[in-house]
Structure 1
Amino acid sequence: MGRKKKFRLFSAVLSVICVVFVAEAAAPVAAIGNSQFFWWTFLLLAFLLPYGLIAAELGTSYIGEGGIYDWVRKAFGHKWGARVSWYYWINYPLWLASLAVMTPGLLTTITGFQFTALSALVLELLFIWLIVWISFYPVSDSIWILNGAALIKMILALLVGGLGLYVAFTKGMANEMTLASLMPSFNLNSLSYISVIIFNLLGFEVICTFADDMENPQKQIPQSIIVAGLVIAAIYIFSAFGIGVAIPVEEISTSSGMMDSFQLLTGSSTGWFIILMAFLFLLTLFGNMISWSLGVNNTASYAAQNGDMPAFFAKRSTKNNMPVGAAIANGLVASLVVAVAPLLPDQDLFWSFFSLNLVMFLLSYVPVFPAFYKLRRIDPDHPRPFKVSGSQLLLKFLVVVPMLLIIISLIFTALPLSFDSSTLASQLPITIGSIIFILAGEAMILIKKIKK
């Protein structure tokens, strides 16, 4: 008998938590105010539930490294598969860059040392290339990192929620809780952050790309999605409630929300507790990037092998067959982004890079939902170990509602819906960057077509 693989159900559940639960995205959501609780509840039901069911069916029916690229390609052909693989991949180095620019500030909190612009850039590059180096190795070799990061994320979320409740009970509520304040406000400020909640709920399909490292993927994939989904929903609501009742909305920052929350809740920016929280938060950033790199790199490499991404992405290690081409491309793009960051107008770099990553990431998911429905029609006899049950009307509902929510959130994230100077200054780089990356993807498809 062969050696049992290390990736068991417990590790699968923690890996889903590590991938899906995004601690650094908590602040923009909390900045919505009390209506965040409505949006969390609504999107957990209207988005997370159908998305989790669809990901579980597709992930167990079409097991392999292609992930969402494979599902869309099978349903709509290579051109749409190429678009999805491009959007899905390019979001990752942008996200990597957005987290890299946070590391100097976190290390300043930990050590007290103030970094110059040059030393901060060196630190950011070290963060990027350490992630790239770790992603050269199989997921089963990184299990302890994924499990550890998931546990730390849960501890941080529970601590910030618990501290928030303690402060609210001992010092009073920071934001007045009324029925009116809990209702959704449809202003531009609130709606522009809805995409962050959806982003916080995406990533279940990454676990499907780990199938080759699992003992029984047909059972472990749906089990891990269901269990982790319930845990993630509970943690998000608890931590959001803690922040919402204890910290005035106007004091919440979009650039370093989790650490700002701890500092505001404790009334201190120094001390052993803040240093420990900053260190743990830094570790979760590594866990996020490592867990996502394993899924994104496999998807990009698989797409390249099918002729839908540049050939360099298909390059794999001769030692362990890991997708080193995609990993190196991640490092090069993220390094370029942080290198040009000092030349950009003075603004919140984390939020700018994060928003751009958000747009590309959400774009990659738009075709996934109709792909699920089409595969049911064109490939009805394919074995489906986990199958979403229900009438055709219910299946259409599960497809249309989350897809529309993504499209709406894309509009509010990518387009400047207000034309005052401050909005344009912060929004136009995101709009222009999104257009550039979309056109780059179309150019890639056109070049591939000409070569064929």
Structure 2
Amino acid sequence: MQEKKKINLWQTILFSICGILVLDSIASPAMIGVSAITMWIITAIVFFIPYGLVNAELGSTYPDDGGIASWVQRAFGEKHAVLVGWYYWVNVAFWMPAVFVAFSSWFSMAFAPSASPWLLAAIAIVMCWLVVAIGIRGVDLSVAVSNIAAFCKVAIVVIMGILGVAYGVTRGFANDFSLSSFVPDMSHATEYIAIIVYNLLGFELISSVGGDIENPKKNIPKMTVFAGLIVTVLYIMGTFGILAAIPVDNISEADGFFYAIQELCSVFGPAQNAVFYVLIIVSMLTLVSNMVSWSMGAVETLGAIGMEERSPKLLGHKSKKFGTNDYSYIVMGVISTVLIVVNFSLSGNANDVFWNIFAFSTLVFMLPYLWLFPAAWKLRKSDPGTERVYKAPALGLCVVLGEVCMAVAVFFLFYVPFDPLYHGMLIVGTIITTLIGFKLYNNGKKANK
């Protein structure tokens, strides 16, 4: 059997850029206004750097498959690891349909404004199953797709920044970029940090396949530095490009990126449509790659907590041809298909049901990180005998800053005007998800007996 190729340093950097930099939600921080650029810098210092340093120590010291679930198991035991791995997978299963609803929406606005809802639903479903097919074929293909997409994402965001300058010079900036506009409203600073923190998560994705990384003890810390710096600069450039072209009051979370690209391309004059179509097609393809990287990380994390024993006929089933947890991907595809059909079956305000489901998935997405930072501290103290080629400086401070920022982000998911459907989905959905996690843990205990 041919020896499996290892993932080298540049592949880990590109994979992490692909996972962390997300174009479909890049407009959200810009809704803050020009001060979002300042908040990117503050959040990079207060959260992103500590988060990256913690991940670098854990990933280089414990380069196990499973990443965050593996680290939590070492620190707090099997029960906590099962919950974390399960949360990680559930989030992606419920997030993927939202990404491809955005995909079909961009397609409709750009190329087929009169397309029927069911055509758009079909497009979204096909994209979900494309991700499933790529994931089942294994890590090598998933990493290759993510690496190509990383170059595309970098190109798109750099172009947005350059076009933002050109737009401002030729047509005037859509927002005030005076020095005073960069000063954040500190009464809402924590809320701003919460929005940006969400966009910065994903450093641990590559560690879900830690056993496949070439020289992880050296390459994971290097990846953290390079990818962290590149991602921060790119998010600032993208935010600037959006704010250069679109007045802050007109920026929407759902389609702010689309309209910003469209407006920025107006600097090309008669060629603006041709340039816009190229950019939006490439941007749409990066949505597919983003889900490839996250679904791979989620399935690998789920597999690392022993699904062969906990759910042998479903989530633990392995492909005979590729050796991957194929049913874990297939169940993701089924969940996505059902939710997409539900979304396009609803009309008017009923769509709130669909998006409230994804508010719940955002909450579940953030929960595993509440274990990550304490795990780093616990392992440093309880496992001093393991060699650490990289030790995060001021680990205690990094842990406190990371945990506080994550707690703030979780808090602000609830800190909105009371809506029974929204808050009910967050609370009930999380309780049900947690109970299933405990069920999986108990299945493993029975199998071991």
TM-score computed with the length of structure 1 as normaliser: 0.89
List alignment gaps of at least 5 residues for structure 2.
none
After superposition, give the CA deviation of every residue in 1:331-381 in whole Å (9 maximum; x if it has no partner).
122222222223373457886555333221111111110010001111111
Q: RMSD between aligned alpha carbons?
A: 2.6
Equivalences for 1:137-216 in 2 at 5 Å?
137-186=137-186, 192=191, 194-216=193-215
Equivalence for 2:278: 276
List alignment gaps of at least 5 residues for structure 1.
none
Given the alignment of the two structures, is residue 343 of structure 1 paired with residue 340 of structure 2, yes or no? no
CA distance in 2 between counterparts of 1:379 and 1:6 reads 28
Pair 1:143–1:299, CA change in 2 (3 A):
closer
Given the alignment of the two structures, is residue 220 of structure 1 paired with residue 222 of structure 2, yes or no? no
Equivalence for 1:247: 246
8 Å CA contact 2:35–2:181 kept in 1: the answer is: yes
Moved more, 358-367 or 299-308: 299-308
Shift of 1:309: 6.8
Shift of 1:308: 6.4
Amino acid at match of 2:61: S
Given the alignment of the two structures, is residue 15 of structure 1 paired with residue 15 of structure 2, yes or no? yes
Equivalences for 1:94-133 in 2 at 5 Å?
94-112=94-112, 114-133=114-133
Moved more, 52-61 or 190-199: 190-199
Pair 1:435–1:215, CA change in 2 (3 A):
same
Equivalence for 1:34: 34
Given the alignment of the two structures, is residue 388 of structure 1 paired with residue 388 of structure 2, yes or no? no
Equivalence for 1:447: 439
Shift of 1:146: 1.3
CA distance in 1 between counterparts of 2:387 and 2:2 reads 26
Pair 1:196–1:306, CA change in 2 (3 A):
farther
Moved more, 112-121 or 320-329: 112-121
Equivalence for 2:363: 359
8 Å CA contact 1:132–1:327 kept in 2: the answer is: yes
8 Å CA contact 1:74–1:375 kept in 2: the answer is: yes
Pair 1:448–1:54, CA change in 2 (3 A):
same
Shift of 1:445: 4.1
Pair 1:281–1:163, CA change in 2 (3 A):
same
Moved more, 77-86 or 127-136: 77-86
Amino acid at match of 1:388: A
Pair 1:410–1:244, CA change in 2 (3 A):
same
TM-score computed with the length of structure 2 as normaliser: 0.90
Pair 1:89–1:450, CA change in 2 (3 A):
closer
CA distance in 2 between counterparts of 1:313 and 1:448 reads 10
8 Å CA contact 2:19–2:205 kept in 1: the answer is: yes
CA distance in 1 between counterparts of 2:239 and 2:311 reads 39
CA distance in 1 between counterparts of 2:357 and 2:302 reads 21
Given the alignment of the two structures, is residue 54 of structure 1 paired with residue 54 of structure 2, yes or no? yes
Is the partner of 1:386 in helix, strand or coil?
A: coil
After superposition, give the CA deviation of every residue in 1:377-431 in whole Å (9 maximum; x if it has no partner).
1111112232223xxxx32211011111111111112x14334xxxx3xxx5443
CA distance in 2 between counterparts of 1:192 and 1:98 reads 23
Pair 1:54–1:31, CA change in 2 (3 A):
same
Moved more, 149-158 or 100-109: 100-109
Given the alignment of the two structures, is residue 327 of structure 1 paired with residue 326 of structure 2, yes or no? no
Is the partner of 2:39 in helix, strand or coil?
A: helix
Shift of 1:203: 0.8
Given the alignment of the two structures, is residue 79 of structure 1 paired with residue 79 of structure 2, yes or no? yes
Pair 1:442–1:210, CA change in 2 (3 A):
closer
Pair 1:311–1:33, CA change in 2 (3 A):
farther
8 Å CA contact 1:302–1:314 kept in 2: the answer is: no
Given the alignment of the two structures, is residue 434 of structure 1 paired with residue 426 of structure 2, yes or no? yes
Moved more, 178-187 or 204-213: 178-187
Amino acid at match of 1:201: L
Amino acid at match of 1:297: V
Equivalence for 2:300: 298
CA distance in 1 between counterparts of 2:353 and 2:288 reads 19
CA distance in 2 between counterparts of 1:450 and 1:227 reads 41
Moved more, 191-200 or 243-252: 191-200
Amino acid at match of 2:33: G
Equivalence for 2:375: 371
| Identity rate, percent | 31
CA distance in 1 between counterparts of 2:371 and 2:200 reads 17
8 Å CA contact 2:242–2:257 kept in 1: the answer is: no
Shift of 1:193: 5.3
CA distance in 2 between counterparts of 1:91 and 1:6 reads 28
Amino acid at match of 2:389: P
CA distance in 2 between counterparts of 1:450 and 1:303 reads 13
Pair 1:303–1:97, CA change in 2 (3 A):
same
CA distance in 1 between counterparts of 2:127 and 2:4 reads 33
CA distance in 2 between counterparts of 1:329 and 1:15 reads 24
CA distance in 2 between counterparts of 1:350 and 1:372 reads 36
Pair 1:332–1:36, CA change in 2 (3 A):
same
Is the partner of 1:387 in helix, strand or coil?
A: coil
Pair 1:346–1:175, CA change in 2 (3 A):
farther
Pair 1:285–1:174, CA change in 2 (3 A):
same
Report the number of matched residues.
439
CA distance in 2 between counterparts of 1:450 and 1:206 reads 27
Pair 1:105–1:49, CA change in 2 (3 A):
same
Amino acid at match of 1:15: F
CA distance in 2 between counterparts of 1:314 and 1:222 reads 31
Is the partner of 1:135 in helix, strand or coil?
A: helix
Shift of 1:264: 2.4
Shift of 1:13: 1.3
Shift of 1:442: 2.8
